[in-house]
Amino acid sequence: MNIHAIRAIYAFEMARAWRTLLQSIIAPVISTSLYFVVFGAAIGHRMQQIEGVSYGAFIVPGLIMLSLLTQSISNASFAIYFPKFVGTIYEVLSAPVSAFEIVVSYVGAAATKSVILGLIILATAALFVPLRIEHPVWMLFFLVLTAITFSLFGFIIGIWADGFEKLQLVPLLIVTPLTFLGGSFYSINMLPPFWQTIALFNPVVYLISGFRWSFYGISDVHVGISVGMTLVFLALCLAILGWIFQTGYRLKS
């Protein structure tokens, strides 16, 4: 394994994040903090507790997951799309660096930025609402696993996209609505039986449910199912990336 190549690409991507600190970290934290102010502090006092958890605290895992999903996809998709756009991707592909090392470096940097952002948002949330984390190891596990999985998904989107507008197409039109409908602001157990069944077809439900369980010990679906669904999506992304590098889809043309 070419550790020097992985370290060089990883360091370059992390350095770009620090150069664009306002866009990469500060803006998502501020936008998420507005949710805490509006839903947690203002509306939360007027709502009943959900399964023994105050409404303001209940929505924290969902809001962290919302930022984590969108930022993981955006970070990874732009990281691979920009070299394609300027033509420097051919230097990377012609260098003595394997496909595995390319994916590890780009996805690793994107996932690292997303995890840092998630932890900052978690610390910010503690300023607005009372929090408790019953399973901190599982919380970190879900945080890292989700960041890696959706960074892989974003990497695929970055390869597939042939224009800047397509980079935002999936996060804005698919991932964000699925997150809002996946139990970020409510428990799917509050829905009528028919809509509960429909909600189970939303993959984000399993992510948010497992992540919320790590905080309060409550979940809409069993935590084992949440982990299993995430691992299945991770394996699917890895399979697609393997096919992309094997065929050169939108990389060598």
27-35 helix and 60-86 helix, angle to the nearest 10 degrees:
150
Q: Tell me the pLDDT tens digit for each residue of 136-151.
A: 999 999 999 999 999 9
Count of CB atoms situated within 10 Å of the CB of 225: 16
Strand, coil or helix: 98: coil
Measure the CA–CA gap between 252 and 244, rounded to whole angstroms: 10
Question: What percent of the chain is modeled with pLDDT above 70?
Answer: 96
Count of CB atoms situated within 10 Å of the CB of 193: 7
Q: Which residues pair with 50 in a beta bridge?
A: 53
Q: Tell me the pLDDT tens digit for each residue of 173-201.
A: 888 888 888 888 888 988 889 988 999 89
Q: Tell me the pLDDT tens digit for each residue of 87-98.
A: 888 888 888 889
Tokens for 111, please give them.
């996932």
pLDDT, mean over the chain: 88
Under 8 Å between Cβ of 181 and 200: no
Question: What percent of the chain is modeled with pLDDT above 90?
Answer: 46
pTM of the model: 0.91
Phi, psi of 53 (to 5 degrees): -115, 135
Count of CB atoms situated within 10 Å of the CB of 223: 19
Q: What is the dihedral of CA 162, 163, 167, 169, to 10 degrees?
A: -100
Measure the CA–CA gap between 64 and 57, rounded to whole angstroms: 12
**8-state DSSP, 50:** B
Counting Cα atoms < 13 Å in the Cβ hemisphere of 127 gives 11
Q: Tell me the pLDDT tens digit for each residue of 30-48.
A: 888 887 777 766 666 667 7
Greater model confidence, 95 or 204: 204
Residue 24: predicted pLDDT: 73
Tokens for 252, please give them.
């060598």
